[in-house]
A and B are shown apart, each in its own frame.
Chain A
């Protein structure tokens, strides 16, 4: 109790509790959201989220070399707002029925903010891309890619080595004793296109082994739209002094590129990072219906079969718009389709904080109801008193 009293009296807490701070934070939040909305005209939504909303400050470049922090970012405003709310409750509000509505509303708000914070930090989103008839036991990250080196020499088991994209930097040597071979990163491109033929510039790197022979890479601008993905690519040189050749790897290359090294056979690929599931999903059928006489979609349905979940026999389930499948803490949504309606793309979300908005919504709705009921009865009382 004493500690609380001391805290209440503390200058910092009282400054933090100020309504002026609330209003300032809200105004800054408004400006930030407006800026983050307008920025989406030129930049992709993912990039905007990172720069504006999942940051502490927003750095705006002035000229070539100077960047200045112009606005507080979403995380900073969120943190200050949560502190402001907590401090206000500590210093100003007493527990009472009359204030219970406001307290519930604010507690709900804190829950929403914390929940979003947790989502930003811990949620993963990936996709499960299935052709009709195909079965998979892993999902793929939307953005994160990895270089996979797979030892396929054994009949029964593959040994997979993966290196995240962030470690693949132009000019870097990767010489790790856990890897069977030395890898030199000659060049990386964040978004690229593969074109037939060689570049005119003879100093350009070219692949001398695998699928990359006879083609070259063109750098393109980063993807900005929600339905576009970057196609990262790299030239890598394998073995001491490139003994095992120069290879082109890209997420656009689907067929495996194989080579042998010291008597063992390997395949190498740049692929989206994989998250393995404790079961497999098989797509039995995908349907895409349209409203009569139009191109407007009326429904997308994926009929899937869950194989090997907790030892249970296979069972089927439909996943369609507004009706996701929740399984093993993950949620599978119908997101997209491809290849003339024979490939279904499911979005898979693993968000430990998914329940927070639901709880918060309930708390806030209840809080507002209490608050307004009290407000209304109080507004009526003076009249009754006057009448008496």
Chain B
């Protein structure tokens, strides 16, 4: 028993973590009797793709408040889908929670808010819409890089209010009491008008008024809730009602459904609500559903936050292994990080399935994928050198990239459709994936080198670890050079295919080339014996800055060097990261800060960067 336990305990650890990870998939309990999960699965067309209503709720809420839940006054946490139903069905209830976050002091001044207030309710902001619109229009006239922080913030607030209003008008014109009844009358008027030989004047006037109302409704929302029927496209409730007048003369069943759903929700009639949703799911054609059921489950599971939590534990275990019980703790760290990687990659694969695309399609997914690549690299290193270093770097990069991804998701939907020029799965799968793996490689090399420099200065680096780190950094830099080089050339070929220019010196291309050149410099410096182990490590740490610059810096360039945009939040983080790397790099030149405890330990002197052959300079 004891022996079996000794052999298999890591498996138990792994299973425990996986158990923790799948918990989220479980369907949530109905709230007040309403089956919110089922409502969240209703497929709609939004911003160019079919997605479950739950995704609309989450991405809108993220854009408004940076969260996926609403914290009510009572302290109760409201799921996003319930919040969406509140907004779309009875705004009277939804407008009170403070779901809109504002940071900019200028914008706070504009709306007469207290400087320390951050969260605002739609109720408080909606009356000021015109006021905000005037400011936003002025800001919109400038090109994005030339806008200052205030102009950006006011434009953002305007977009937030717009998004809110679009939800308010998703199922029916906001403020309508009994929409079902209204639609029924409209239908009656239509039938009557079609049948009667002479249309009564008042009926025509009524129809014209309603026509006008639905035209406005169609303009007020971008949520296409009515699924395609008879070869038509997805449409908004407003458009669907208007089309009835134009063509078939019959109401689309799904228009009536949303009217009924809204009424049932307003009347707090859970039984009817659940029944309606159930019937809708049974009757909707599979072609209109797409991947939305999978996506709803993916949203609910929250795999990335769970992977982040497991990474943290993995990292702490690996660090602890350098202090005490190296064998047990490093095995625990490896198992834990491996579990996190499984959760992370499940999320990645699910996203690919939902989107029907290769893993990297935008900045958000590049963060998820850089993390994935780095974790795999770290775990491979750990497999060869059981020192906890591979696990620690895997966990650290996995966690950080997922945090970055989370912040990038605040802009809205992370699976937005591709622009025409980027719409090529072949190049997305080759160029983009390969170059992103190159990024991952340089970050792993940079982190390993940072671990080397810090531990060496603290006198906490054994000779064997020092040798292992040397080989690891060398190997990973070779890997990065290979991937970033091939990726860059493939990018050139894509450019040649799509606009006839292999190389155009555009900032993103230059960024990629900088990574290639930096890796080539490190390798040539090593082969030529121009730098010793510590120098190579310092250069590898600097590689972090170069990669961060070409990954994010070039995107912020327009922002960064123009006036006030400099204080952009992401920019501060980027500068902080670069500064931290410089500090670690400088550590290489500092006097040794040996920990009192490890004075007796043998620490590594600065060896030549073996075992790669040093080219003779005849």
Are A and B part of the same complex? yes
Nearest-CB residue, chain A, relative to B236: A293
Per-position 1/0 for A306-324, Cβ under 8 A of B: 0000000000000011101
Instruction: Give chain B nearest CB distance to A256 CB in angstroms.
Output: 31
Known: A40-B507, A293-B234, A298-B423. A349 touches B493 (CB 8 A): no
Residue contact B48 to A296, C-beta cutoff 8 Å: yes
Contacts of A112 in B (CB 8 A): 489
Residue contact B485 to A364, C-beta cutoff 8 Å: yes
Contacts of A244 in B (CB 8 A): none
Residue contact A26 to B500, C-beta cutoff 8 Å: no
A38 lies within 8 A of chain B by Cβ = yes
B263 lies within 8 A of chain A by Cβ = no
A116 lies within 8 A of chain B by Cβ = yes
CA distance A348 to B501 in the complex (A): 10
Residue contact A333 to B530, C-beta cutoff 8 Å: no
Known: A41-B557, A331-B500, A357-B489. A292 touches B45 (CB 8 A): yes
CA distance A147 to B103 in the complex (A): 56
B492 lies within 8 A of chain A by Cβ = yes
Of the listed stretches B208-216, B396-404, B515-523, name the one at the interface; the rest are far from the partner chain.
Answer: B515-523
Contacts of A49 in B (CB 8 A): 504-505
Residue contact A357 to B492, C-beta cutoff 8 Å: yes
Nearest-CB residue, chain B, relative to A19: B528
Known: A45-B504, A364-B485, A372-B478. A36 touches B615 (CB 8 A): no
CA distance A119 to B503 in the complex (A): 10
A29 lies within 8 A of chain B by Cβ = yes
B49 lies within 8 A of chain A by Cβ = yes
CA distance A116 to B513 in the complex (A): 14
Residue contact B557 to A38, C-beta cutoff 8 Å: yes
B23 lies within 8 A of chain A by Cβ = no
Within 8 A of A (CB), among B566-617: 615, 617
Instruction: Give chain B nearest CB distance to A90 CB in angstroms.
Output: 12
CA distance A45 to B503 in the complex (A): 12
Instruction: Give chain B nearest CB distance to A317 CB in angstroms.
Output: 16
The residue that A354 contacts in the complex, of B47, B48, B502, B514, with Cβ under 8 A, is B502
The residue that A364 contacts in the complex, of B222, B489, B496, with Cβ under 8 A, is B489
Contacts of B504 in A (CB 8 A): 45, 49
CA distance A335 to B423 in the complex (A): 15
The residue that B419 contacts in the complex, of A19, A26, A296, A372, with Cβ under 8 A, is A296
Residue contact B482 to A368, C-beta cutoff 8 Å: yes
Known: A37-B554, A92-B615, A354-B502. A291 touches B49 (CB 8 A): yes
Per-position 1/0 for A135-176, Cβ under 8 A of B: 000000000000000000000000000000000000000000
CA distance A19 to B554 in the complex (A): 30
The residue that B521 contacts in the complex, of A27, A294, A300, A347, with Cβ under 8 A, is A27
A280 lies within 8 A of chain B by Cβ = no
Residue contact A368 to B486, C-beta cutoff 8 Å: yes
Within 8 A of A (CB), among B521-560: 521, 524-525, 527-528, 530, 554, 557-558
The residue that A324 contacts in the complex, of B500, B505, B617, with Cβ under 8 A, is B500
Instruction: Give chain B nearest CB distance to A54 CB in angstroms.
Output: 9
Contacts of B511 in A (CB 8 A): 37
Instruction: Give chain B nearest CB distance to A144 CB in angstroms.
Output: 17
Contacts of A60 in B (CB 8 A): none
Nearest-CB residue, chain A, relative to B502: A357
Contacts of A36 in B (CB 8 A): 505, 510
Residue contact B510 to A33, C-beta cutoff 8 Å: yes
The residue that B224 contacts in the complex, of A292, A300, A348, with Cβ under 8 A, is A292
Q: Number of B interface residues, CB 8 Å?
A: 60
B181 lies within 8 A of chain A by Cβ = no
B141 lies within 8 A of chain A by Cβ = no
B498 lies within 8 A of chain A by Cβ = yes
Instruction: Give chain B nearest CB distance to A32 CB in angstroms.
Output: 10
Contacts of A33 in B (CB 8 A): 510, 513-514, 517
Residue contact A41 to B493, C-beta cutoff 8 Å: no
A14 lies within 8 A of chain B by Cβ = yes
The residue that A125 contacts in the complex, of B493, B498, B501, B617, with Cβ under 8 A, is B501
Instruction: Give chain B nearest CB distance to A7 CB in angstroms.
Output: 14
CA distance A321 to B500 in the complex (A): 11
Within 8 A of B (CB), among A178-215: none
Known: A37-B507, A333-B499. A299 touches B420 (CB 8 A): yes
Contacts of B527 in A (CB 8 A): 19
Instruction: Give chain B nearest CB distance to A349 CB in angstroms.
Output: 3
Residue contact A34 to B514, C-beta cutoff 8 Å: yes
Residue contact B47 to A293, C-beta cutoff 8 Å: yes
Contacts of B498 in A (CB 8 A): 321-322, 324, 333
Residue contact B234 to A292, C-beta cutoff 8 Å: yes
Within 8 A of B (CB), among A270-293: 291-293
Known: A36-B510, A292-B234, A333-B500. A23 touches B521 (CB 8 A): yes
A365 lies within 8 A of chain B by Cβ = yes
Contacts of A348 in B (CB 8 A): 500
A297 lies within 8 A of chain B by Cβ = yes
Residue contact A358 to B521, C-beta cutoff 8 Å: no
Residue contact A322 to B417, C-beta cutoff 8 Å: no
B562 lies within 8 A of chain A by Cβ = yes
B278 lies within 8 A of chain A by Cβ = no
Instruction: Give chain A nearest CB distance to B507 CB in angstroms.
Output: 5
Contacts of B454 in A (CB 8 A): none
A30 lies within 8 A of chain B by Cβ = yes
CA distance A354 to B499 in the complex (A): 12
A216 lies within 8 A of chain B by Cβ = no
Nearest-CB residue, chain A, relative to B503: A116
B73 lies within 8 A of chain A by Cβ = no
A267 lies within 8 A of chain B by Cβ = no
Per-position 1/0 for B475-492, Cβ under 8 A of A: 000100010011001101
Contacts of A294 in B (CB 8 A): 47-48, 222, 417
Nearest-CB residue, chain B, relative to A28: B517
A257 lies within 8 A of chain B by Cβ = no
Per-position 1/0 for B46-79, Cβ under 8 A of A: 1111000000000000000000000000000000
CA distance A374 to B187 in the complex (A): 77
Per-position 1/0 for A41-76, Cβ under 8 A of B: 100010011001100000000000000000000000
CA distance A225 to B48 in the complex (A): 29
30 contacts between A and B (CB under 8 A): A19-B527, A19-B617, A22-B528, A26-B517, A26-B520, A29-B517, A30-B514, A30-B521, A34-B514, A36-B505, A37-B510, A40-B557, A53-B505, A91-B618, A92-B615, A112-B489, A125-B500, A291-B417, A292-B48, A292-B224, A296-B419, A298-B423, A324-B498, A324-B500, A349-B500, A349-B501, A357-B489, A357-B502, A361-B486, A375-B478
10 extra A-B contacts, CB within 8 A, seeds A293-B223, A368-B486: A22-B524, A36-B505, A38-B561, A291-B417, A292-B45, A293-B45, A299-B423, A322-B423, A333-B498, A354-B502
Question: What 8 pairs across the A-B complex have the smallest Cβ distances?
Answer: A291-B48, A349-B500, A19-B528, A291-B417, A37-B510, A294-B48, A361-B489, A321-B420
Q: Which residues of B contact A (CB under 8 A)?
A: 45-49, 222-224, 233-234, 416-417, 419-421, 423-424, 427, 478, 482, 485-486, 489-490, 492-494, 496-507, 510-511, 513-514, 517-518, 520-521, 524-525, 527-528, 530, 554, 557-558, 561-562, 615, 617-618
